[in-house]
Structure 1
Amino acid sequence: MTRGAAILAAIAAVVATATAALGDEPTFDPRVMSKLLREVDRRGTPNAYFQQCPTDVWRKLVPRSNVVLPEMNYDRCERDALACARLCFDGHNPEACFETARVIQDNGGEDQQLKAEAMFAQACATGSAAGCTNRGAGMRLGRLPDSLRGNEKAANHCTYETFKLSCSEGDAWGCTMYGAALQNGEGVAKDKDAATMAFKKACEIDASFVACQYAKSYMESGH
C-alpha cells in the first residue's frame, strides 16, 4: 500500500465511525439484529448495489418529487430498526437507508459489516450523498465489489469518482475524501490546488464537523 493509500484508508476508517450515535445508553435491542439482517437479505437491491461502483447506482431509486418523506434520524432508527429498514426499502427514504446502515455498522459484528456496506450502497441509490461517501470509504477499507478485487487502479478510480460526486452534492466527508485523493494522487493525477478547494468546501459545508478538522490537517501538512 502506498503512503497516500494508507492515509486515505485511515480517513476512511474515521468516515465509517465518525457519525456514531451520541448518548449514554444504547437503544438498540440486539435481539432485533437477526431480523434486521434477514430483512436486508430478502431484498435484492442492497447486495446488487454493493457489487457496483457507487457512481453507477447514484439516485437509481429516488422517490417521486411529490412524495413527502417522513423525517428519520439515528436514534429513531436504532429504536425501531425494522421499521426504519422498511421505510428505506418501501418508501425509498434515503435517510432511513443511511441510518439503517449505521445501526448495522455500530451494533453488528465484523462479519456483518458487509451488510452495512450494502445498505450504504442502497442509501446512495436512494439519493443519500453521505451513503455514497460511506460506501466509498468502505471500499477504501477493502470491502470491494467482486469486479474490482485485484484491480487497484480501477478501485481507486471508482472511489475518487465517488468522493467527487458526493462532494459536489454537498457532503462534507465526501469533500475531505475527495481532497485527500487529489492531494495524494489516488485514482487521479495529483492536484494540490484542486485538493485545497475540496478541503475548503468541506469546511464551508460545516466548519464544526470532524470532516473539516481532517481537511484542515491535510491543508496544513501539505502532503
Structure 2
Amino acid sequence: MKHILLLAMLLLWGSASASEEMTVYELIESDEYFSKFEGSCPTEYISARDVEARNVVEYCKSNEQECFNKCKSKDPSYCYSLAKIYQSKGDDGVASSLFAASCIQGVVSGCTNRAAAMNQFEPERTDCYIETFKLTCARSDAWGCTMYGFIFATGEGAEVDVAKAKKYLELGCMNGVEDKACRSAKALSAILESQGKE
C-alpha cells in the first residue's frame, strides 16, 4: 500500500511539474501584460532609463514560475533571462514577448532582440525594426549597431550603403572583439570586403 501511495505521489508531482511549466507558457501567451506588446513596435515603449540585466538564466531554468512572477513585478533581469531560455528552446514567440517586457523595463538589448524577432517574423514592418536598431545603437547596444549595419550591408529594408554599413558594424565592436555582436559584425564586414565593397 505504501508503494502504491508513493507511486501516486510521484505521478502527481511529475504531473504538477509539467502543469506548472505549461502554466508559465500559457501565462506568457495569454497574460494581458504581455499581450499588449502584440503588433506594437519597441520604439513605442522603449524605456528612457538604461538597466543592465543581471544574468539569472541558470536560476530561472529551474524556477520559471517564480522568474515569470518577478518579471511581471517589473524586474527586467528575470524577463530578459526567461526570454533567453525560451529563445534557446526555439520558442521565439514567447521569447519575443519577454524581450519586449524587458525593453519596456529598461533593458535596451531587449528592444533589439524584440526588433530582430520582428525582422524575422514580420519582415514587412521594416520601418519599425530599422528605427529600433538605430535607436538601440544610439543607446550603446552593440547588437543594435550590428543589426543596423546589417540593414545597410544587405539592403534589407533600406538601400545598400556600404559606408554606413561599415560605420555601424564597427560600432558593433564597442564591447570588444570577443563579443558575439562584434564577431557577427566582423564576419559581415569580411563579406563586404570580399565582394569589393570597401
TM-score by shorter chain over 0.5 = yes
Gaps of 5+ in 1: 1-28
Q: Distance in 1 between matches of 2:19 and 2:86?
A: 12
Task: Return the letter of the residue paired with 2:22.
Answer: S
Matched with 2:9 is none
Q: Distance in 1 between matches of 2:106 and 2:179?
A: 21
**2:67/2:79 contact within 8 Å kept:** yes
Matched with 2:171 is 201
Q: Distance in 2 between matches of 1:180 and 1:70?
A: 25
**2:92/2:117 contact within 8 Å kept:** no
Q: TM-score of the superposition, structure 1-length normalised?
A: 0.69
The CA deviation string for residues 151-209 of structure 1, in whole angstroms up to 9 with x for no partner, is x2xx1121111111222222222211110112223333333222212111111223201
Q: CA deviation at 1:121?
A: 1.4
Task: Return the letter of the residue paired with 1:55.
Answer: T
- Return closer, same or farther for 1:206/1:30 CA change in 2, 3 Å cut-off: farther
**1:159/1:187 contact within 8 Å kept:** no
Of 66, 83, 86, which residue of structure 2 is paired with 1:83?
Answer: 66
Q: Distance in 1 between matches of 2:53 and 2:119?
A: 32
Matched with 1:74 is 57
Detail structure 1 runs of 4+ shifted over 6 Å in the superposition. Answer: none
Q: Please, which moves more after superposition, 182-191 or 158-167?
A: 182-191
Do structure 1's residue 159 and structure 2's residue 147 form an aligned pair?
no
- Return closer, same or farther for 1:168/1:30 CA change in 2, 3 Å cut-off: farther
Matched with 2:188 is 218
Q: Distance in 1 between matches of 2:54 and 2:62?
A: 14
Q: CA RMSD for the aligned pairs?
A: 2.7
Aligned residues: 177
In the TM superposition, 1:1-223 aligns within 5 A as 32-41=20-29, 43-59=31-47, 71-90=54-73, 92-107=74-89, 112-142=91-121, 144=122, 152=124, 155-222=125-192
- Return closer, same or farther for 1:206/1:89 CA change in 2, 3 Å cut-off: farther
Matched with 1:6 is none
Q: TM-score of the superposition, structure 2-length normalised?
A: 0.77
Q: Distance in 1 between matches of 2:191 and 2:53?
A: 42
Task: Return the letter of the residue paired with 2:78.
Answer: A
Q: Distance in 2 between matches of 1:76 and 1:86?
A: 14
**1:59/1:127 contact within 8 Å kept:** yes
Bigger-Rg structure (1/2): 2
The CA deviation string for residues 54-107 of structure 1, in whole angstroms up to 9 with x for no partner, is 1112128x69x9xxx9944211221211111111111x1222111111222323
**2:170/2:185 contact within 8 Å kept:** yes
Q: Distance in 2 between matches of 1:206 and 1:57?
A: 29
Q: Distance in 1 between matches of 2:96 and 2:85?
A: 11
SS at match of 2:173: helix
